[in-house]
Amino acid sequence: MAQRAGRVPRSDWRADADPDDLREYDAFGPWIDPVRTEIGMPRVFRPWYPELADAAFLLKIPRDIDRAQARPGQDLFAAILAVGERGVCSLRHVGGTVTREDATWEQVVACATYNNLLLARWSLLLSNGSAIHVPHNSVGSDLMAKVTAYVRAHIAAPSEASVPPTLPAVDVPQDFSASKLAELKRTFPAPVAAIHVEPRNRLCRSGRFARRLSTGLMVVDTPEALVLVSGGEPARSIFAPNYATEVRIVPYSRLDSWALTSSTAGPDFRSIVLLAGSHVIEQACLDRPAAVIAALEARDVLPAEPQGEVVGVPR
C-alpha cells in the first residue's frame, strides 16, 4: 500500500516576523495613524524622522491594499505627511523610491477635501500652480479635518476690507448643502453665510449636448475665506448616482483676481475663475454668481484684465 506523502510544515509567519514589522502590521488598517516615535515611523521613511519629529501632525498614510493580503515586512504605508510651523512636507514611496514635496505657508493658496464614499483626497493648492495631494480612505477624514483647521490658521486671516454688501437671502436645500453649511458655521468665525446655491439634479447639457443632471453647488462667505462646496464634477449622467462632496477653502488674502468665463462642463455652464499666483481655481456654475463677485470685490479682489467675459457668456 502506498504511503501517504508527508505534509510540508506550515510556516508561522508571525513568529518569524521582525518585531518592528509585526508591530507595524498589527496596527495597519485603512485609517491614518499619527507617528509618535521613531520606531513607529515606517521603515522606508525612518531616515526623515529626526527632521520631522517636531511637526504638529506627523501622519502615515496606508496603502490601499486588502488587509488579508498584507504581511509583516511589506511596505504597508504609501506616504508620510508632516504639517508644522514651517509648512508642509509630503514623503511618498513609489517604485522603490521616496519622493519629497515641501511647501511653506507663504506658498499655500487654498486647501481642498474630496470625499466619495470610501475614497477621499486631501489637497493643498500652491501658488506655483502645483498641488500636494494625499489620497486616503475616508475613515481618516475626521483626523484630516483637524489638519485642515491647522492649515487654515496659518494661511487665512479675517479680511480687513469692507464687508460684502447686503445680499438677498439664499435658500439652502436639505441635501448636502444644509449639513455642510451647519458644519462650516461650527468651524469658521461668524458671520458665515451661503451666498450662492444651486440645488442638485437640475437638467443641463454636457459638451456633447447630452442631457445630464447637475451635482449642486454652494458658495459660502466667511470673514477669512470663500468656501466652494460642490459635488465634484459639475454634472452626472441621468442614470448614474453621485455621492461626491468637494470643499475648497480659498482665503481672500491669497487671491489676486477673478474672472468669469465659459466652461468646459457644457453649454449651460459658466465658470468663476479665482487666480492666486500661478494657480487657477475654477468652479463651474449654472447661474451667474453675482453675489460671489460682490463678495470678492468687497474684499478688494478685482477682475482680471481684460475685464469682461468671453464671448457667449453674458455679463
**How sure is the predictor about 312, in pLDDT bands with cuts at 50, 70 and 90?**
very low
Q: Which of 114-128, 164-178, 252-266 has the lowest mean pLDDT?
A: 164-178
pLDDT tens, position by position, 72-83: 767 788 999 999
Q: Point out the least confidently predicted range of 14-28, 193-207, 229-243, 260-274.
A: 14-28
Burial class (CB in 10 A: 0-12, 13-18, 19+), 196: buried
Runs of H (alpha helix) within 27-155: 49-52, 141-155
For residue 262, how many other CB atoms are within 10 A of its CB?
16
pLDDT at position 11 over 80: no
Do 13-155 and 176-303 fold alike per CATH?
Answer: yes
**Residue 181: C-alpha distances to residues 11, 57, 150, 243 (Å):** 55, 26, 20, 17
Rounded CA separation 113/136 (Å): 11
**285, three cell numbers:** 456654475
Instruction: Tell me the backbone φ, ψ of residue 17, rounded to 5 degrees.
Output: -75, 150
- Delimit the domains of the chain by residue range: 13-155, 176-303
CATH topology of domain 13-155: PH-domain like (2.30.29)
The CATH architecture one would assign to domain 176-303 is Roll (2.30)
* Span 17-49, pLDDT tens digits: 667 777 777 777 788 999 999 999 999 999 999
CB-CB neighbours of 68 under 10 Å: 5
What nine digits make up the cell of 250?
480659498
Read off the amino acid at residue 258. W
Do 61 and 41 form a contact (C-beta atoms < 8 A)? no
